[in-house]
Amino acid sequence: MSKKENWQKILALACVILGILIALQFRTQKNQGFPLYHNRNDELIRIINNLEKERNQLQFDLKGIRERLKSYEENFTQGKSLTKNLKEEIENLRLQTGLEPLAGPGLVIKLSDSSRKPKINEDPYFFLIHDMDLQVLVNELLAGGAEVISINEQRIINRTSPPYEIKAIGPSTNLEAVLRMPGGFLDSLTPYILNGIKIKIFQTPNTVIPAYKGSLAFRYAKKIGEKK
């Protein structure tokens, strides 16, 4: 009888291990469900908050514009010169159109092609940075609230070669979160990253972005109503 007791004790110990395994497996299976689901809500809340902030800002802007319009009208009726107002406005427009270098808090992202040679069974496509990646990145940055963006010291412009350095002026933490969100830019680059494409993101308190160097003249677009 004592022998029987003995084997039951040993078995009980094994049963403890069995129980641990069951519990662990149960927990992993439970977590497996919707890995994106929990992050999703936070993401949506953030988007809503951002949109509300944007709306408030727009309302504020609108108020300012209406006041300016009123002052123009007043000046005009009083016959004063408009030059002072216009000079201020030109200054402001130069900033907006990208003719002035700007600085502010932001983000610097460095993308480089993989230094590893693709093996025979690997697709070289996933070893290079493509125009599409940069496009997606720039779009995501704009969606995240970036105000000014440059690629390789060029205010968003085409033809450049790797490594690409993208700079943006905007809310640094927010911008980085946008790039890192599940299903976002970094996620979409996972196969490239596995192949050795390098991405570095720096939050910079004072990002300097150069002025737009290209021509402002349109070659194809013409004002409607203008003939030849």
Partner 1 sequence: MLLILGVLAGLLIGMIMPFDLPLVYAKYVSCGFLAALDSVLGAIRAGIEEKFNFLIFVSGFFVNAILAGFITFLGDRLGVDLYFVAVITFGMRIFENLTFIRLDLLSRFFKKEF
Residues that bind partner 1 (CB under 8 A): 3-4, 7-29, 31-32
State which residue, 28 or 158, has the beta carbon closest to partner 1. Answer: 28
Number of Cβ atoms within 10 Å of the Cβ of 183: 11
CB of 21 to partner 1, least distance (A): 4
State which residue, 6 or 49, has the beta carbon closest to partner 1. Answer: 6
CB of 33 to partner 1, least distance (A): 11
Number of Cβ atoms within 10 Å of the Cβ of 111: 21
**CA dist., res. 52 & res. 38, Å (int):** 22
CA distances from 133 to 73, 138, 188, 212, 221 (A): 48, 9, 9, 22, 28
- Show the tokens assigned to 14: 């094994």
Supply the angle between the helices 37-78 and 83-97 in degrees, to the nearest 10: 160
CB of 112 to partner 1, least distance (A): 29
Sheet (strand 198-209) strand order: 154-155, 148-151, 164-169, 102-112, 198-209
Q: Residue 165 pairs with which residues in a beta bridge?
A: 110
- Show the tokens assigned to 28: 């992993």
State which residue, 10 or 132, has the beta carbon closest to partner 1. Answer: 10
CA distances from 119 to 52, 122, 124, 126, 162 (A): 49, 5, 8, 12, 21
State which residue, 3 or 159, has the beta carbon closest to partner 1. Answer: 3
CB of 119 to partner 1, least distance (A): 17
CB of 11 to partner 1, least distance (A): 5
CB of 191 to partner 1, least distance (A): 18
DSSP label of 164: E
State which residue, 7 or 37, has the beta carbon closest to partner 1. Answer: 7
The set of residues, in sequence order, having a beta carbon less than 8 Å from that of 137 and lying 6+ positions away, is 109, 111, 166, 179, 185
State which residue, 13 or 90, has the beta carbon closest to partner 1. Answer: 13
